[in-house]
Amino acid sequence: MGWSILVGAGCVLCLALAGSASAGEVRFGDGGWSWFQDPRAITHRGAHTRTYVGFVTPTGDVTVASYDHATKQVARFVLHAALQEDDHASPALFVRPDGRLVAFYAKHSGTPFYYRTTVNPEDVTSWGTAQILDTNTAGPYGFTYPNPIRLATERRTYLFWRGGNLDPTFSIQKDGETGWAAARSLIHVPNNQPGPSAERPYVKYASDGEDTIHFAYTNAHPNETPDVNIYYGRIRAGRVEAVDGADLAELGTPILPRDADLVFDGAGPAWIHDVAVGADGRPVMVFATFPTSTSATDHLYHYARWNGSSWDVHQITPAGGSISTGGRSPLYSGGITLDHDDPSNVYLSRQVGQAWWVEAWKTTDGGATWASRTLTPGSTVKNVRPLSPRGNEPNGEMVLWMSGAYPNYNTLQTAVTSFIEDPPPPVFEPPAPPTPGPTTTPTTSPVSDVRLARASPGSGVVRVGPRGGGRLAVHCRAEASDRCKVSGSLRRAAGRLGAISGTVGAGRRATVAVRLTRRGRVQIQRAGQLRVRVVATSSSLSGRGSPVRGKVRLVLRRRR
């Protein structure tokens, strides 16, 4: 029998608190990034749980920082001092299978292309000497926008960048080797002549980490060519394919920009901002459009998802105007990104008066409808180019962005900051394994589920103290030697307000802990009472049975 959560009249929830106890901001340093090199931030769980962030400072120092989720400490290292005062020089990061970090970077359309590897796993304070990538497509435009991706099934790392001829370019390195294969074009613009009018596709990459690389792109720069649309392709088993599996070319034989899937062709140009892959293996992307002119102040954000037979495209929200002052980059929106662990979550920056606020948006129906919450309420500055670290789930919620003035890409006046909600340690330690007893014949249908207790009136109310803590009554039905392990989050339309977690012995009615986030504590202090939705997962501590998700309504009431 599976593990389930049942709700009845007067019932309270059987879950466990794995809440987010500490929420706050972390400042990584002055600087920022362009949005076309990735990953710019990675959360990696090894001997430590740390988030690594790459950025370039206003004085051109290429920098990598780490945040330790247990100790809350930030460490920084300057990879290359005074390389270039340009956000295109920020590094892309990659964690090797051995836990060592690699950073790739170059000047904006410059040479050489550097990469450095940490001496020790999970430690940004010591790096080996800089290596130089010695292959590129022919042309005067050097290297820009590194994107490293490893495919585990192939045991190879793909490195993408914009090459010397402005083509999206790639090289491959096999595990255990130190050299890179000759550079080849992924997409080629024929008859592309050097100069300010040269067409150049802008590409975003994502992967399942196993056998497929997804890429979404424009056919040109949207401020320089009138007809700029959004396209999609994928790399699998040495081939370039359309989304439905149709073969486009052998990898290494470049496709033309319009050979792949046309995702969006609307009024005015468009600019891709991110692509990710859902748990169902289907690609999702977000992009900005500029429907009236290339000097528009009415940028719009869109969400596109492959539904198995066609592309569903929905507008999310107006974005405002350009974050760049002086009119030099009129199509620089505040920025929009996907949560790559769950691309139904979107983080975006939109204009509010003279400021730009970072917001979290959530869809449960493929982009047709949205709920949102603000992460920077009341801010009077520009909070732009948000990103969600790759690999962050299930660590909690973490969003990074650039905060401050942004004259243009080569005049940075921003700082890299973040919103973090780290889950606290488990409230209950796992129980010791049961002492082996005499061998018996197992029952044919053991009881193995988790249920809400049918309790007295008012038991659906949890009273919360000044520090955001409370208790919730639950009932566990399981085999005598087992326990129920439950965890979940407390949510409203505005987002996540807290969590519950704990373990309950078989056959017992007991309580588990409730703990609110900082946002939840503020809301309940203001309102006195909150109605929340609890999304919970119940499972057997022994591992028997399959985890099951369930939902229930709950009232939180402030304890005076």
Per-residue pLDDT of the chain (560 residues; tens, 9 = 90+): 222 222 222 222 222 222 223 347 899 999 999 999 999 999 999 999 999 999 999 999 999 999 999 899 999 999 999 999 999 999 999 999 999 999 999 999 999 999 999 999 999 999 999 999 999 999 999 999 999 999 999 999 999 999 999 999 999 999 999 999 999 999 999 877 777 667 899 999 999 889 999 999 999 999 988 899 999 999 999 999 999 999 999 999 999 999 999 999 988 899 999 999 998 899 999 999 999 876 778 999 999 999 999 999 999 999 999 999 978 899 999 999 999 999 999 999 999 999 999 999 999 999 999 999 999 999 999 999 999 999 866 567 899 999 999 999 999 999 999 988 776 433 333 334 444 444 433 333 333 344 433 333 334 688 888 778 887 777 666 666 667 777 777 877 657 788 887 777 776 666 777 888 877 888 888 888 888 877 666 666 665 655 555 667 778 888 76
Which candidate, 190, 180, 141, places its Cα nearest to that of 159? 180
- Measured CA to CA, the distance from residue 337 to residue 136 in angstroms comes to 29
Q: Which two tokens stand for residue 479?
A: 């085999």
User: Residue 143 in contact with residue 136, Cβ under 8 Å?
Assistant: yes
Which candidate, 437, 461, 373, 381, places its Cα nearest to that of 11? 461
Which candidate, 169, 186, 166, places its Cα nearest to that of 259? 186
- Measured CA to CA, the distance from residue 427 to residue 15 in angstroms comes to 12
- Measured CA to CA, the distance from residue 536 to residue 552 in angstroms comes to 8
- Measured CA to CA, the distance from residue 375 to residue 347 in angstroms comes to 10
Q: Which two tokens stand for residue 39?
A: 């990953």
Neighbours of 248 (CB within 10 A): 18
- Measured CA to CA, the distance from residue 157 to residue 281 in angstroms comes to 20
Output the pLDDT for position 241.
97
User: Residue 403 in contact with residue 413, Cβ under 8 Å?
Assistant: no
What lies within 8 Å, CB to CB, of 268 at 6+ separation is 289, 290, 291, 292, 293, 294, 296
- Measured CA to CA, the distance from residue 20 to residue 423 in angstroms comes to 4
- Cα–Cα distance list, 19 to 340, 489, 514, 517, 520 (Å): 22, 7, 7, 8, 11
- Measured CA to CA, the distance from residue 340 to residue 275 in angstroms comes to 8
Q: What is the pTM of this model?
A: 0.74
CB-based burial of residue 548 (10 Å sphere; 0-12 exposed, 13-18 middle, 19+ buried)? middle
What lies within 8 Å, CB to CB, of 145 at 6+ separation is 34, 36, 37, 88, 92, 160, 161, 162, 203
Which candidate, 292, 348, 270, 279, places its Cα nearest to that of 316? 348
User: Residue 381 in contact with residue 405, Cβ under 8 Å?
Assistant: yes
List domains and CATH numbers for the chain. Answer: 22-422 (2.130.10.10), 449-558 (2.60.40.2550)
The sign of the dihedral angle between the CA atoms of 124, 125, 131, 136 is positive
CB burial string 47-64: b at 16+ within 10 A, e below = eebbbbbbbbbbebbbbb
User: Residue 480 in contact with residue 506, Cβ under 8 Å?
Assistant: yes
